Chains A and B, each alone.
Chain A
Amino acid sequence: MSTTDDFYAQPGEETEGTVYTAMGGDWAEIAAEQAERSDEILVINMGPQHPSTHGVLRLILECDGETVLSIRPGIGFLHTGIEKNMEYRTWTQGSTFVTRMDYVAPIFNEVAYCLGVERLLGIENDIPERAQVLRVLMMELNRISSHLVCIGTGGMEIGALTVMTIGFREREMILDFFEAVTGLRMNHAYIRPGGVATDLPETGIAQLRELIAWLHKHLPEYAEFCNENPIFKMRMIGIGHQDLAACMALGVSGPVLRSTGYDWDLRKQQPYCGYETYDFESIAWKPTDGWAPSDSYARFRIRLDEMWESLKIVEQCADRLESSRGKPVMVADPKIAWPAQLAVGPDGQGNSHEHIKHIMGESMEALIHHFKIVTEGFRVPAGQAYVPIESPKGEIACHVVSDGGTRPFRVHMRDPGFNHLQSVPIQCEGGMISDVVVAVGSLDPVMGGVDR
């Protein structure tokens, strides 16, 4: 027996929607009546090609009107088999492959991989100081540029197109610096096992100081545009809520974890590359009475503040680089250190004239080392290592297994986006479709890292 009134409702208790009251023996009728009421559940496929610029992510949604009843992410559309490909290349070439996983923050992939290889080689304490400072410098600049992409595309997806244009403008300045140092705007393969590929160019420090000044001048614009913007706040506050217990259960780290109020930053808790010697804060939302918003707005604010902290670290790196001019940037062991000194010549970037003169004219050993390291590669003693670092998205780590040879036996990257996308259902079910876009944007997945 179906009715829109509830027989058993107390006075004042309203009913919403259709209520079926089963009196016994009438279940078949109720079921038939429900079946012929055409069900309003839509199945929507936000397929791998869609304008949200998080890459090829497929979201399968079941919606009742605008409310999402269930959502499942489908991944694998960018699976490249990088890990298997690395088993057929030398350890140094692994840097070139690994850098294309999380392509928005490529330096972090390289650092995680190289720290793993260096732990296996046992040269963790022999990396020169200047190389460590250069690594930290590149990592922090990459953190700023990755957060700019996240904020820019996140803003674009909710319609704030100016945030994207100014974000990419800043990013261009950072990419100019990357190009001056590594030769490439993206996917640099700059961090190699043993140190970094090449030192700063002569105008490097000056360009870095200009970049710092530019960022100081322009980073406040994001806060001005967005922090108190009523549309931003309406679209982002309360959206994508994921509390601490859910984060811990699902392996979520990075700004998403710190938005729950838990201050966990691997640069502080398990420092690497000399981070313990830098003066910076780890940004987490300070909970009030044990409550923190754990939503997209909190993550956005955390990312903004993290950019300022990264800029602080970059300034400290610039000072250290000035005082350590001329120091080596590769480990001293000639059987591991990447031999080439790169310079820009009339036909592009290549080995510098001094290096060619050295290996061809002055030192037979240097020529042999250069040849053997580039063709055969160095041998890494057998064993396995797992080194986690703090990337702009969360914990990125590299599980490296060596069998004593010149090629990796197994490399597995633990990418933060992989775990973050697992938590999309928790964040989005029960909300509206438009909030799905905001929530996924606040998780900041990069499909190259998710699918590898």
Chain B
Amino acid sequence: MSDDKAPDAKLPGEQKTVDTHVEGADSAPGAGLEREDAQPDEALDAVALVPVGAHVIETRTGMWSAGSGDTSGYGRIVHTVEIPNEGLPSEGWYAGVVGRLLKLVPDALVRVVFDRGELTFFVAREKLTEVMGQLRDDAQLRFEFLPSVSGVNYPSDAGAELHVAYHLQSMTHNRRLRVETTCPDDDPHVPSVTPLYPAADWHERETFDMFGIVFDGHPHLTRILMPDDWVGFPQRKDYPLGGIPVEYKGTTVPPPDQRRSYR
């Protein structure tokens, strides 16, 4: 009965999108907000930066990994992968921190994401050193502890395939923050924060080893986990898992990355 429909028309229920309701994005924090950290007008600027709606990174069709035969009937599912964004909440320290940072480093932030209780700043790599310096040194920010630097590879995010996520912790104010910066595949350079946070030394080496992101200004950027002469960057999505097929009772089980799997 679907023969007279256009080939790519979707049946009801087949098209799945994430419908985010962003609260607080178009309302300023309450006038009674008493924070020494931020003036009300800074907070308004901060809130204006928060984009409405989620950030789509990929659209996928089908339920199984690409290239596998599908008799399930779910082959025409279209699934968009979106990073949700709730918008800055009106209570809490979040708006104050955003405002304070913007006062110190104007147009520092490409995007602010608040999702599941965690605040993430997206920073352009050119501004990274300045932003991290202010985050560490300013008395009202004081994110003096850098526990972790991790890389993520989003192959479908054109122009920003490699993300570096810096997780900051302020012990003075007992707060956590994530600063994320991106770089494209064909120019994978990010300034190093090792002069500011010596803890990042080995973390950046590991991110270089696993993703190929070159941290400019790092004192000795060499491989740390793989052998020194290894070729390739293992945790990128285009690097194979590298397993071998296993023979068991007359059949061969392919390695995990070559099996058919749910998406």
Q: Which residues of chain B are near A451, meaning CB under 8 Å?
A: 225
Q: Is A251 an interface residue (CB 8 A)?
A: yes
Complex alpha-carbon distance, A385 and B18, angstroms: 18
Q: Is B158 in contact with chain A by the CB < 8 A criterion?
A: no
Chain B contacts for A81, CB-based, 8 A: 234, 241-242
Please name 17 further chain A to chain B contacts, defined as beta carbons within 8 Å, in addition to the given A81-B242, A251-B199, A397-B147, sorted by A numbering: A75-B224, A75-B225, A76-B224, A84-B235, A88-B257, A251-B145, A253-B147, A377-B262, A382-B84, A395-B147, A397-B148, A399-B167, A403-B58, A403-B81, A406-B261, A419-B202, A422-B201
Q: Can you list 12 pairs linking A and B with CB atoms under 8 Å apart? A: A76-B223, A83-B235, A384-B83, A386-B118, A399-B165, A399-B167, A403-B58, A404-B79, A404-B81, A421-B202, A422-B198, A451-B225
Q: Is B71 located at the chain interface by the 8 A CB criterion?
A: no
Please determine whether B261 and A407 come into contact, CB atoms closer than 8 angstroms.
yes
Instruction: Tell me whether chain B's interface is mostly helix, strand or loop, or mixed.
Output: mixed
Interface centre among A81, A270, A412, A451 (most CB of B within 10 A): A412
Contact present for B256 and A89 (CB under 8 Å): yes
Q: Is B190 an interface residue (CB 8 A)?
A: no
Q: How many A-B residue pairs have CB under 8 A?
A: 128
Contact flag A119-B152 (CB < 8 Å), given A414-B147, A418-B203: no
B146 within 8 A of A: yes
Interface positions of B from 132 to 152, Cβ below 8 Å from A: 144-148, 150-152
Q: Is the CB of B152 within 8 A of A401?
A: yes
A81 to chain B, nearest CB (A): 6
Of chain B, the residue at the smallest CB distance from A83 is B235
Of the four ranges (under 10, 10 to 19, 20 to 34, 35 or more), the interface on chain B belongs to 35 or more
B residues adjacent to A (C-beta < 8 A): 18, 57-58, 79, 81-84, 115-118, 120, 144-148, 150-153, 165, 167, 169, 171, 174, 176, 178, 197-199, 201-203, 206, 223-227, 234-235, 239, 241-242, 256-257, 259, 261-263
Cβ < 8 Å to B, chain A residues 373-397: 376-377, 381-386, 388, 395, 397
For A383, the chain B residues whose CB sits under 8 A away are: 83-84, 115-116
Name the distance in Å between B231's Cβ and chain A's nearest Cβ: 15
Do A405 and B197 form a contact, CB below 8 Å, given A248-B144, A382-B18, A386-B148? no
Q: Does B81 contact A382, Cβ atoms closer than 8 Å? A: yes
User: Which residue of the partner chain A has the closest CB to B79?
Assistant: A404
Tell me if A335 counts as interface (CB < 8 A to partner B).
Answer: no
Is A264 within 8 A of B171, CB to CB?
A: yes
List the 3 closest pairs (A to B, CB-CB), nearest first: A251-B199, A414-B148, A412-B150
